[in-house]
Amino acid sequence: MSKKTITIIGAGFSGLMTAIHLIISKRKDIEIVVVSPQECFTKGIAYNTYSKHHLLNVVVGKMSCFPEQPEHFLEWLSQKEPYHQLDKSLLATVFAPRELYGKYLEETWHNTIKNYKPDNLKIIHQKVSDISYLPEKQQYHFFTTDNQSFTTDYIVLATGNELPKNPTILNHHFFKNNHYFQNPWAYESVEGVEKLESILLIGNGLTMVDAVLGLQENNFQGKIYSLSPNGFQILPHRHNGVPYHQMLPEIQPPYSITKLFSIFRKHITFVRQFGISAEPVIDSVRSISQKIWQELSLFDKQIFIRHARHLWGVARHRLPTYIHDKIQDLQRNQYLQILKGKLLNLEEESPQKIKVSYWDRKKKKENYIWVNRVINCTGPNTDISQSNNLLIQNLYQKKIIQTDDLKLGIRTDIHGAIYQDNNEINHRFFTLGSLLKGMLWESTAVPELRVQAKNLAQFMLETIDKDLS
C-alpha cells in the first residue's frame, strides 16, 4: 500500500497536538515526521520558560490539550505535588506555572507513544532551513540546518511565535550591541544583572511582566524602566469564568464593526453599574470570535486594528490578581517606572551605559534616560515579510507562502491550507497557530489551538483519502 508522508515542522503546542491526533488515528497509510530542535520539543517557546514564576494566563480548568476531554489537564495536575491537596473545583481556577504545563505536554506526548506504539513516526531534532516544491512528483523537499534533506507529501508549518521585531530608531546599528536582547524569552536576557543599575524594557504587555519577574528572580536590585505608547494598562482577572449570556443573542450576521462596537459598549456599560468588569462580556463572545472575524470585511478589520486592537488586548489578556498586585507594588516602590511615549533612539555612550531617547507623551517633549541593558518585550512579530526565521524568510521569498491582508500572519483558507502566489489553495501545505492570526484573529491560546490541531489532523486525513482514491 502506498503511504503518504506528513511532515510537521515545529513541536510546540500546535505541532505536537497535530502529531498526537494523527498518531491516535492509527492510520497505517501515513508516515508522520516531526522536525524540531531538541530543546523546544513538546514545549516550544511558550512552555520552555526559564522561570517558575511565569504563569499561564488561562485557568487550569480551561487548559486541557484535548477539546473532547475538558478536564484532562485538571486531572493530570490534581495528581501532582502540592496540587493534590486542593479540591478540584478550586484547582480548576488556579493559574499554573507555564513550566509545569510544558511537563504536562511532554508527559502527554510520551503517554501517546507508549499507548499507541506508532511504527510510522520519525523524529528529526533539527531546524528546517528551506523547502522546495517538486511539481513533477507533487512533493516537497525540505532541508535542515545540518545539511540533511528529506522528501514529504504534506507539510504542516507549526513554527509558533516569532521574536519581537526590532523597533524603528535612528541608530539601527544598536541592535548588534551585546547589551540589547531581542529575545525576551531567553534566560540570557535576565542573566547576570545583579550589579546593573538600570534596565529598559520596551513594551508594557504580558511579556514585560515576565521580564520583570525574571529580573527579580535573578536578584536585580536596580531600576526598571518600561516604555510603550500607551503606558501600563494590563488589568487583573476580576471576574474570570463568570458566565454572561445576555449579549450573544444580539450578535447576528451580517457583522459590521460599527454594530459590534455599539453592542459591546452597551453591555460593558450595563455590567459596570453593578461593579462587574468587562471581562465576562468579552469572554462571552469567544466561542464565535473567529467566525465573526472571518465574516468581517477587510475595511472593518482595518478599523478594528487601528482603533480597537489595543483596547481588545487590554480586555482579553489579563494577569492573575496577585501578579498584578506585585507589579503595582513594584511601581509604588519605584523599582518599576512606567514611561508613556515613543522610543526614538538608543545609543551606547560608554560600555554598559545606553542613552535612551523617547518622546514623552505626558510632558509632550523629547526626554532621556540612561540604562545598562535593553530588553525587547514588544511581543511576537507577526509580519512574515520581516521574519527572523530563516525558513519563513525563504518560503516568503520563493512565494510559497504570502502574507494575509493585514500582515498578521500567513494567508490561508479556513482549513489552514496556504494560498500560493497564483492565488490557488494548496491542500498539501498547511499552517496553524499564531501564523493564522490574520485569518482568525484569536489564534494564540490553547482553547483555540487545541481545536485547530484536531481539525487540521482530521482534514489532512480526509485529503489523503481523496488523493489515494
d(CA 15, CA 314): 28
The count of structural domains within the chain is 3
Residue 418's DSSP bridge partners are: 412, 426
End position of a domain, from candidates 376, 395, 420: 376
Contacts of 197 (CB under 8 A, 6+ apart): 222, 223, 371, 372
Q: Is residue 208 part of a domain?
A: yes
End position of a domain, from candidates 376, 395, 414: 376
Give Cα separations from 151 to 133, 138, 144, 154, 418 (angstroms): 10, 10, 12, 9, 19
Give Cα separations from 310 to 228, 269, 305, 313, 403 (angstroms): 12, 19, 8, 5, 22
Judge if 292 and 440 occupy the same domain. Answer: no
Q: Is residue 80 part of a domain?
A: no
Q: Is residue 78 part of a domain?
A: no
At residue 241, the pLDDT reads 84
Judge if 109 and 142 occupy the same domain. Answer: yes
Judge if 120 and 21 occupy the same domain. Answer: yes
Judge if 151 and 288 occupy the same domain. Answer: no
d(CA 118, CA 113): 7
51-65: pLDDT as tens digits: 999 999 999 999 999
List the one residue out of 5, 45, 22 whose CA is nearest residue 153.
5
* E strands present in 36-148: 121-124, 128-134, 139-144
163-212: pLDDT as tens digits: 999 999 999 999 999 999 999 999 999 999 999 999 999 999 999 999 99
SS (H, E, C) 356-367: EEEEECCCCEEE
427-456: pLDDT as tens digits: 999 999 999 999 999 999 999 999 999 999
Q: Residue 461 has which C-alpha cell?
A: 486525513
At residue 352, the pLDDT reads 85
Q: Is residue 70 part of a domain?
A: no
Judge if 212 and 356 occupy the same domain. Answer: yes
Asked if residue 187 lies in contact with residue 50, where contact means CB atoms within 8 angstroms, the answer is yes
Judge if 102 and 30 occupy the same domain. Answer: yes
435 phi and psi angles, rounded to 5 deg: -70, -10
For residue 299, the enclosing domain spans 248-316
Q: pTM, whole model, 2 decimals? A: 0.95
Q: How many CB atoms lie within 10 A of CB 76?
A: 21
d(CA 280, CA 196): 42
At residue 2, the pLDDT reads 80
User: What is the distance of C-alpha 447 from the center of its chain?
Assistant: 12
> What letters, b where the CB count within 10 A reaches 16 and e where it falls short, cover 438-467?
bbbbbbbbbebbbebbbbbbebbbebbeee
pLDDT score of 73 more than 70: yes
Altogether, the residues listed in the chain come to a count of 469
Judge if 230 and 361 occupy the same domain. Answer: yes
Judge if 119 and 180 occupy the same domain. Answer: no
End position of a domain, from candidates 356, 376, 396: 376
At residue 36, the pLDDT reads 96
d(CA 118, CA 437): 32
Average pLDDT over residues 388-409: 96
Q: For 423, which DSSP code?
A: S
Q: Residue 392 has which C-alpha cell?
A: 519563513
Q: Is residue 71 part of a domain?
A: no
pLDDT score of 1 more than 70: no
Q: Is residue 87 part of a domain?
A: no
Let me know the angle formed at the C-alpha of 104 by 434 and 29, rounded to the nearest 5 degrees: 70
Judge if 231 and 288 occupy the same domain. Answer: no
d(CA 160, CA 410): 12
Average pLDDT over residues 338-344: 97
Judge if 184 and 324 occupy the same domain. Answer: yes
Mean of per-residue pLDDT scores for the chain? 96
At residue 469, the pLDDT reads 78
Judge if 299 and 325 occupy the same domain. Answer: no
Lowest mean pLDDT, pick from 67-71, 121-125, 185-189, 315-319:
315-319
The CATH number of the domain holding residue 201 is: 3.50.50.60
How many percent of the chain have pLDDT more than 90? 92
Q: Is residue 92 part of a domain?
A: no
Judge if 355 and 426 occupy the same domain. Answer: no
96-141: pLDDT as tens digits: 999 999 999 999 999 999 999 999 999 999 999 999 999 889 999 9
- 240 band by pLDDT with thresholds 50, 70 and 90: confident
- 71 band by pLDDT with thresholds 50, 70 and 90: very high
Place of cell 512528483: 137
Within a 13 Å sphere around the CA of 39, how many CA atoms are in the beta-carbon half? 6
Q: Is residue 362 part of a domain?
A: yes
